Amino acid sequence: MSKLTLCEMGVMDDYIQISGLHKTFHTRSGPIQVLKGIDLTVRKGEIFGIIGFSGAGKSTLARCINRLETPDSGSIKVGGVEILNLSKKQLLQERKKIGMIFQTFNLFEAKTVYHNISYPLEISKIPKPEIRKRVLETAELVGLSDKLNAYPGGLSGGQKQRVGIARALVSRPNLLISDEATSALDPQTTLQILDLLKEINRTTGITILMITHELDAIRYTCDRMAVLEDGKIIEVGTVREIFNNPLSRTGALFTKVFTEFQRITEFENGSGI
């Protein structure tokens, strides 16, 4: 909460600045305009949520930030660096400062948990003892110290995502992009992973960009949020503002769904989520 007040006071710097971002996919059935001029600012150290229905362009937006997708036009600045002007070599360096976690975890099944986490450091040619130290540290942080020799194939969904988080964090990035990271997990595990993200945000000050269609996840985790609909940002604000004043159709719809959902769970459990 104290962080939120800091945000509101405008003490925190902007970390991601996106302006005029356009992206069109050329498919066989014609061009599809996925991003139609996105302007967005994410502040340093905050957990920022982007919510929208499937096909709204959330993932494309996230993937433009580390240039897994190349936008047609616009500008993306991360920590003051213009991502869209980087040379190939600079891009590889810049990607090491942006961690990413995925809905399907995307772990390397040929590698043990240890080597999944150590891989980002190995390709950065960091000396072995240093790698070992940082892998152990990061594994401890995500609570996987006892699973280092296991292969991902033998882990539960929650554990897999912890490996994903550790792999994304081990090179000490300043930004973590979470692309529907909890969408494949059960509610209890989702809560644990969200707690972990909050904890990491609190202890390391890392900026987290959370892409999701799960309203509870945003409400539980984020400081500020944006609503994405049909390739445009239709609303930005603190989570509280948007929930209390849903002007947008998506916001209204989500809030309606959420209130309904809450009413049912309250009825069933005798308490909220």
Partner 1 sequence: MSLLDTPIWEVIKGSFAPDIWVRLVPAVGETLYMTVVSSIIMLVFGLLLGILLTVTNPDGLVPMKILYTGSGWLINALRSLPQMIMIILMIPVARLFFGKSYGTNACIISIAASCIPMYARIVENSLLEISKGKIEAAKSIGSTNFQIIFRILIPETLPSLIRGFTVAVIAVISMTALAGMFGAGGIGDIAVRFGYQRFQHDVLFASVYVLIALVQLVQWIGNFTSKQILKKRNLI
Pinpoint the alpha helices (H) of 72-112: 88-95
For partner 1, which is the closer residue by CB, 150 or 196?
150
# residues contacting partner 1 (CB under 8 A): 31
CA distance 100 to 106: 10
Cβ neighbours for 250, distance < 8 A, ≥ 6 positions apart: 51, 52, 53, 56, 227, 228, 229, 234, 235
CB 213 within 8 A of CB 52: yes
The reply to whether 253 sits near partner 1 by the rule CB under 8 A is no
Element (H, E) at 161: helix 157-169
CB of 258 to partner 1, least distance (A): 29
Of the candidates 19, 73, 93, 156, which one interacts with partner 1 according to CB under 8 A? 93
Q: Please compute, for residue 158, the number of CA atoms within 13 A of its CA located in the half-sphere on the CB side.
A: 15
The reply to whether 70 sits near partner 1 by the rule CB under 8 A is no
The reply to whether 184 sits near partner 1 by the rule CB under 8 A is no
CB 167 within 8 A of CB 174: no
The reply to whether 147 sits near partner 1 by the rule CB under 8 A is no
CB of 95 to partner 1, least distance (A): 4
The reply to whether 257 sits near partner 1 by the rule CB under 8 A is no
Region from 11-19, 87-95, 127-135, 206-214 binding partner 1, contact rule CB under 8 A: 87-95
The reply to whether 153 sits near partner 1 by the rule CB under 8 A is yes
Which residues in 94-123 contact partner 1 (CB under 8 A)? 94-96, 98-100, 102, 104, 106-111, 119-120, 123
For partner 1, which is the closer residue by CB, 120 or 251?
120
In 10 A of CB 54, how many CB atoms? Answer: 8
Place of tokens 């401890």: 140
CB 167 within 8 A of CB 120: yes
Region from 5-13, 166-174, 222-230, 235-243 binding partner 1, contact rule CB under 8 A: 166-174
In the chain, the amino acid numbered 37 is G
Binding positions for partner 1, rule: CB under 8 A: 66, 68, 92-96, 98-100, 102, 104, 106-111, 119-120, 123-124, 150-154, 164, 167-168, 171
